[in-house]
């Protein structure tokens, strides 16, 4: 059953319980934000609602900016999470789902400018080095982890990459987000070199019965889906023995956090991450890809590391 279709039921429930019009309006708005996040992650069915997905949404809230370019206040984050928790509780109590995925979510208590589930640079290096690159599968997995960290794109976006979307010479990647909205993101020289080798020497080993348009292929010769990307990141995290719970979203926010800490302007990060919320993107001036490429080269650790060699 579609999550979005159940929101009117929940709103009717709130009205029947005599909640104020203010509460009902806030609930509609907060759930619309939640639905936009789910759709961007390729999630629509209530069976896909898990604790990890709610945790990723909590991270997304912590990395959402207001019209003044500041992180959402903790009070606002808590309010939106409270509404999502109430919605999930309603789904459980009315037998739409068996388990409430949000029951263990703790609301933020104090100001934290960045999400907690962020890897530091040594941890990120361990994660990147975890796959065995002497094998074709390990080399592919290494590229996936490094590309997610390099660009901050979502798992659905990396799963959808086709060969014509990559400009290895220019260092650009065409990404299709929610609603097939396209944006161009920069890719570091280091990752471009790894991708070139993957495409020429590794990717052909995964092809079965002819060419395939997707960049990343599974052992059956099909394009790696979002679940496959997610499992690969989790496997690499296990190999690296990291204490932090790692998901594809962790790499997205780790990329942005490291660039922020190195001094990257927020408006460039917003363009690179492809935030669709009016709150996070509408007030920023359009950023050209050349500007973004320059910012990425200057502030992303992978580029800085490459220059130091």
Would you call 249 a catalytic residue per the annotation?
Answer: yes
Question: Measured between alpha carbons, how far is 234 from 239 in angstroms, rounded to an integer?
Answer: 9
Q: What is the pLDDT of residue 187?
A: 93
Q: What is the pLDDT of residue 281?
A: 30
129-185 pLDDT, tens per residue? 999 999 999 999 999 999 999 999 988 899 999 999 999 999 999 998 766 678 889
Q: In the structure, what pLDDT confidence band is assigned to residue 112 with cuts at 50, 70 and 90?
A: very low
Q: Which two tokens stand for residue 109?
A: 């208590």
Short-list 1, 55, 7, 63, CA closest to 30:
7
For residues 57-91, one letter each, b for 16 or more C-beta atoms within 10 angstroms of the residue's C-beta and e for the rest, the string is bbbbbbbbbeeeeebbebeebbbbbbbbbbbbebb
Catalytic entry in 142, 155, 212, 252: 252
Q: What is the pLDDT of residue 305?
A: 61
List the beta bridge partners of residue 62.
Answer: none
- What's the Cα-to-Cα distance from 190 to each of 141, 143, 186, 228, 306, rounded to whole Å? 16, 11, 12, 24, 7
Would you call 230 a catalytic residue per the annotation?
Answer: no
Average pLDDT over residues 217-222: 87
- The residue with greater pLDDT, 269 or 52, is 52
Q: What is the pLDDT of residue 244?
A: 80
- C-alpha triplet 197, 174, 253: angle, nearest 5°: 90
| Residue 46 · residue 3 · CB < 8 Å | yes
Would you call 162 a catalytic residue per the annotation?
Answer: no
Q: What is the DSSP letter of 71?
A: B
Catalytic entry in 85, 142, 154, 253: 154
Q: What is the pLDDT of residue 215?
A: 94
Catalytic entry in 155, 275, 296, 300: 275
Catalytic entry in 13, 125, 178, 261: 178
What residues does each domain of the chain span?
A: 3-93, 121-308
Q: What is the pLDDT of residue 306?
A: 56
Q: What is the pLDDT of residue 283?
A: 29
Would you call 212 a catalytic residue per the annotation?
Answer: no
Whether residue 241 is predicted with pLDDT greater than 70 in this model: the reply is: yes
Would you call 234 a catalytic residue per the annotation?
Answer: no
Question: Measured between alpha carbons, how far is 33 from 24 in angstroms, rounded to an integer?
Answer: 14
- C-alpha triplet 272, 278, 284: angle, nearest 5°: 50
Supply the CATH classification number for the domain 121-308: 1.10.443.10
Name the average pLDDT for the chain.
Answer: 83
The answer for residues whose C-beta is within 8 angstroms of residue 219's C-beta and 6 or more apart is 137, 206
CA dihedral 153, 156, 162, 168 (to 10 degrees): 10
| Residue 296 · residue 303 · CB < 8 Å | yes
Catalytic entry in 284, 293, 299, 300: 284
Q: Can you say whether the dihedral through the CA atoms of 182, 186, 188, 192 is positive or negative?
A: positive
Whether residue 251 is predicted with pLDDT greater than 80 in this model: the reply is: yes
Q: What is the pLDDT of residue 107?
A: 83
Question: Measured between alpha carbons, how far is 153 from 177 in angstroms, rounded to an integer?
Answer: 9
Q: What is the pLDDT of residue 199?
A: 94
Average pLDDT over residues 231-238: 93
58-96 pLDDT, tens per residue? 888 877 777 666 677 888 889 999 999 999 999 999 999
Would you call 15 a catalytic residue per the annotation?
Answer: no
Three-state SS at 278: helix
- Fold annotation for 3-93: DNA polymerase; domain 1 (1.10.150)
Q: Which two tokens stand for residue 11?
A: 């709103």
Catalytic entry in 85, 249, 268, 296: 249
Whether residue 111 is predicted with pLDDT greater than 60 in this model: the reply is: no
- The residue with greater pLDDT, 20 or 305, is 20
- The residue with greater pLDDT, 169 or 261, is 169
265-309 pLDDT, tens per residue? 776 777 777 765 434 333 222 344 555 667 777 778 887 665 544
CB count, 10 Å around CB of 295?
21
CA dihedral 179, 234, 232, 251 (to 10 degrees): 50
Q: What is the pLDDT of residue 89?
A: 94
């Amino acid at each position: 059953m579609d999550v979005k279709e159940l929101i009117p039921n929940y709103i009717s429930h709130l009205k029947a319980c005599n909640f104020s019009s203010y509460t009902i309006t806030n609930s509609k708005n907060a759930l619309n934000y939640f639905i936009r996040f789910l759709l961007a992650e390729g999630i629509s069915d209530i069976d896909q609602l898990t604790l990890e997905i709610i945790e990723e949404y909590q991270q997304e809230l912590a990395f959402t900016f207001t019209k003044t370019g500041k992180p959402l206040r903790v009070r606002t984050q808590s309010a939106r999470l409270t509404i999502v928790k109430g919605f999930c509780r309603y789904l459980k109590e009315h037998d739409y789902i068996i388990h409430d995925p949000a029951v263990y979510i703790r609301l933020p208590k104090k100001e934290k400018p960045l999400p907690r589930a962020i890897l530091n640079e040594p941890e990120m290096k361990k994660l990147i080095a975890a796959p065995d690159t002497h094998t074709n599968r390990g080399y592919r997995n290494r590229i996936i982890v490094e590309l997610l960290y390099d660009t901050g794109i979502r798992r659905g976006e990396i799963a959808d990459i086709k060969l014509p979307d990559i400009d290895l010479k220019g260092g650009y990647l065409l990404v299709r987000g929610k609603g097939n909205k396209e944006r161009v993101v920069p890719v570091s020289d280091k990752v471009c070199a790894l991708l070139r080798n993957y495409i020429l020497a590794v990717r052909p080993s995964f092809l079965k019965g002819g060419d395939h348009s997707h960049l990343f292929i599974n052992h059956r010769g099909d394009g790696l889906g979002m679940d496959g990307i997610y499992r690969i990141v989790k496997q690499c995290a296990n190999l690296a023995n990291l204490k932090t719970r790692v998901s594809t979203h962790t790499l997205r926010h780790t990329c942005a956090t490291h660039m922020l800490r190195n001094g990257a302007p927020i408006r460039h990060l917003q363009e690179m991450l492809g935030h669709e919320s009016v709150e996070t993107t509408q007030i920023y001036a359009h950023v050209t890809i050349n500007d973004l490429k320059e910012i990425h080269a200057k502030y992303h650790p992978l580029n800085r590391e490459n220059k130091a060699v």
